[in-house]
Structure 1
Amino acid sequence: MDSKLLLAIATLTGTIIGFGVFSIPYVMFKIGFLPGIFYLLILTAITILLHLIYGEIILRTKAICRLPGYAKNYLGEAGGSFASISTFISVPFTLICYIIAGGEFLSNILNGPIFICSLLVWIILSLGLILGITPISKIELSISLLMLLIIGVIFLVSLPKINSENFSEFSPENFFLPYGVILFALAGAPAIPTLRYILRGREKDLKKAIIIGTLIPAFFYAIFSFAVIGVSGNQTSEEAISGLVGKLGNNIILLGLLFGLMAILTSFLTFGIYLRDVLILDFKMKKTLATVLVMAISLVGVFLNKEYLILLIGFIGVIMGAFEDVILLLISRKAEVKFDRNPEWKINIPDPVVWLFCLVFIGGLIYEILFFLKK
């Protein structure tokens, strides 16, 4: 595998593996491990399909833009406005979540004040935004490989301590709980335009990069959840790590916290650069102003705590599914007949499947809103 393709895969993998990985064991335990794996398989297949659809839309369009720009080109002003609202809800809240979680992880590593640690995380990530795509992509390759290695180590160390009885739970009352969280944890669409940039001149490899780059995180989510649930059982915590305290040793806990910090670093930078590019390409904002605005938005996370983090993650995941993914499906229909560039590959989806997906995403949104309001 050549370096450009590897870099593209690492960029998508690094984007997808974010704080959401730590919420998956908790929601899987709440519903039951096997039903949770079923959820993961189905949503991984759907996510790969959506990532490929976005890739095809990008390849059908000569203009360089992001989701709001594509929506405006293919769906008109109303579609562009709808996509803009969705983007400016989901991405900023995602960045804020990463700052909150990053501060928590660094605080546990350094045993320091959460506010100071959150501020330090924000400063480091802001510097990454200023550096831009190319240096960050090279950093993500190393960090992604290191993250996968850490998950592998945690899995191997956990094996002797796994209790098979922890996998026998099934709670149908929590059946919809994993939906938004897993959808959030698999989200990698903001990285797709960056993948095309990395693979410019070799756009046919974009399909391979998308499939492999989405499957790798899903596989490691499964083994990470297996390890955490198998060891922690009913002590499985919302952020996975604290439930392992006293069971795997301090060194493994520290390794897990370090993994969390790296996961946040890679995901934040891709989402942050994506939001900055939306402001530059789709709203014609100056690069400096766009960068400062993204930094200012994420700074909010320094002043918030983790109390409602998992609820917020689930809500963001469903917002992405209900709005952004539906918009992608609608754009793909228009782009099949209204395009100015022949794509290197095509994804043919029957209309009934498109409308079924739309109904699933909208249904998920309604459930998540009701669940969120109950909390």
Structure 2
Amino acid sequence: MRELNQATLNPPAGAAGHDEAGCTLEVKKLTFLEGVAMIVGTNIGAGVLSIAFASRKAGFMPLLFWLTLAGVFTTISMLYVAETTLRTRAHFQLSGLAKKYLGGFGAWLIFASVAVNSVGALIAYMSGSGKILSAFLGVSPETGSLIFFVPAALVLFLGLKAIGAAEKWICAGMLAMLATLIGATALSGQADLARLVDGSWIYMIPVFNVAVFCFSAQYIVPEMARGFEHDPKQLPRAIVTGMGITYLLLALVPLSVIALTGLSGLTEVATLAWGQALGEWAFYTANLFALCAMLTSYWGLGGSFLTNIFDKFRLGAESRTGTRLAVLAVVALPPFALAYSGLVGFVNALYFAGAFSGVILSILPILMLRAARRSGDHAPAWRCGWIANPLLQGAVVAIYLASAVYAIASGLGFLPAGW
């Protein structure tokens, strides 16, 4: 990581292609812990609940391999976006950055990626929360989803600072619950580590797309950059710290559940099987963790989608109540309808969202970084260094493209879907 002087560069005429004077995204200061919590909270959502089930044919070891690879590559991609934002004077979301550096087509591709990934996630959260609250309260899944929706939408409406503060406190509670559950699994006498080598490597490739989805916090990097405007060097540190914690949690949850229940005992929402195996107290603890995970991820991805809509369509100040409510309705209501339409399953929503967004976010951040280095507004407080090597960038693009091709072929029935 090489520090640069803060001398301002002169952007070439016409390079921006985006009306920086019209940028209306607001700056709300974040602390380092709030930034880390936003990364962890956004990542630890539907993905951590679905990856065990998604790997029920492949097994734990292929899953761990893909989690490692996806975690490293996604962190690199996030750092590309971080340097791009730090080279940009105005505050944009991903679609705005793409417009500035890649033009209209790149902006629409990024916006489509944000939309697909966010809608896929929010569908899963609506479906998963409904199932859990139905089991908790004896209500219908639809009613359970409505109960979940109220605090989810309220904090989303309040904005970046409320999201950061809520993520920080709930993430602390989630870590405590998870430590309790993992400890209870280890002491239960029911866990069998031999189950971790069950499965077939033939089915390993489809697991990658769900693993990619589990690291879905790329979208909130520009959001965090706004919050760290007072100390931009905190941005890459928060990204790396948050992604490291995410990786540990994503590995430990399926490890514990698979060791406890075996591949045949997995449920689509992993904490249901986990809690049932350990007893009633664990059932409630595990599924309270699941609800918190969905809630924090809902805020991260939903908040990013909301501000991307403001940025992309130049809707004026975020704080205008009527406009914010209208955009919130666009973000929150379609996923609820799709979750109960019967058209999209919990894991399928994550699988195809991960495939599509993975390709876009493997290629465009690289192009954006290169363009920002040529025509950015000023020298950044931090830059990527060796991780921007063209060979590494090529490897990132190749693996995500191969994954997308597999997703299409499996969707058409030519290759195993994996579950």
**1:140 match:** 167
Q: 2:200 aligns with which of 145, 156, 171?
A: 171
Whether the aligned pair in 1 keeps the contact of 2:124 and 2:346 (CA below 8 Å) is yes
Whether the aligned pair in 1 keeps the contact of 2:82 and 2:221 (CA below 8 Å) is yes
1:229 aligns with 2:258: yes
Q: 2:79 aligns with which of 40, 43, 52?
A: 52
- Distance in structure 2 (CA, Å) of the matches to 1:120 and 1:131: 18
The number of equivalent residue pairs is 373
Q: TM-score, normalised by structure 1?
A: 0.94
What pairs with 1:258-269 in structure 2 (closer than 5 Å)? 258-269=288-299
**1:204 match:** 233
- Distance in structure 1 (CA, Å) of the matches to 2:145 and 2:342: 10
Q: Secondary structure at the match of 2:284?
A: helix
Percentage identity across aligned positions? 24
Q: 1:369 aligns with which of 408, 412, 416?
A: 408
Whether the aligned pair in 2 keeps the contact of 1:122 and 1:302 (CA below 8 Å) is no
Q: For residues 268-301 of structure 1, what are the alpha-carbon distances to aligned partners after superposition, in whole Å with 9 as ceiling and x for unaligned?
A: 1121111111111221125433223223333324
- Alignment gaps of 5+ in structure 2: 1-29, 317-322
Q: 1:325 aligns with which of 349, 359, 362?
A: 362
**2:93 match:** 66
**1:272 match:** 302
Q: For residues 16-67 of structure 1, what are the alpha-carbon distances to aligned partners after superposition, in whole Å with 9 as ceiling and x for unaligned?
A: 1101101122234422322321221121111111111111111111121111
| Larger CA deviation: 27-36 vs 96-105 | 27-36
Q: CA deviation at 1:141?
A: 0.5
| The structure with more radius of gyration | 2
- Distance in structure 2 (CA, Å) of the matches to 1:41 and 1:81: 30
- Alignment gaps of 5+ in structure 1: none
Q: CA deviation at 1:259?
A: 0.7
Q: TM-score, normalised by structure 2?
A: 0.84
**2:335 match:** 298
Q: 1:81 aligns with which of 84, 108, 111?
A: 108
Whether the aligned pair in 2 keeps the contact of 1:108 and 1:257 (CA below 8 Å) is no
- Distance in structure 2 (CA, Å) of the matches to 1:215 and 1:293: 33
- Distance in structure 1 (CA, Å) of the matches to 2:361 and 2:309: 17
1:344 aligns with 2:373: no
What pairs with 1:28-39 in structure 2 (closer than 5 Å)? 28-39=55-66
Q: Hey, which of these two has a bigger chunk of helix by percent?
A: 1
Q: 1:152 aligns with which of 179, 198, 207?
A: 179
Q: CA deviation at 1:248?
A: 0.3
**2:314 match:** 284
**1:218 match:** 247
| Larger CA deviation: 224-233 vs 20-29 | 20-29
1:90 aligns with 2:122: no
**2:353 match:** 316
Look up the equivalent residue of 2:308 and give its one-letter code. V
**2:50 match:** 23
- Distance in structure 1 (CA, Å) of the matches to 2:333 and 2:357: 22
Whether the aligned pair in 1 keeps the contact of 2:62 and 2:201 (CA below 8 Å) is no
Q: CA deviation at 1:237?
A: 2.2
Whether the aligned pair in 2 keeps the contact of 1:103 and 1:115 (CA below 8 Å) is yes
| Larger CA deviation: 346-355 vs 249-258 | 346-355
**2:280 match:** 250
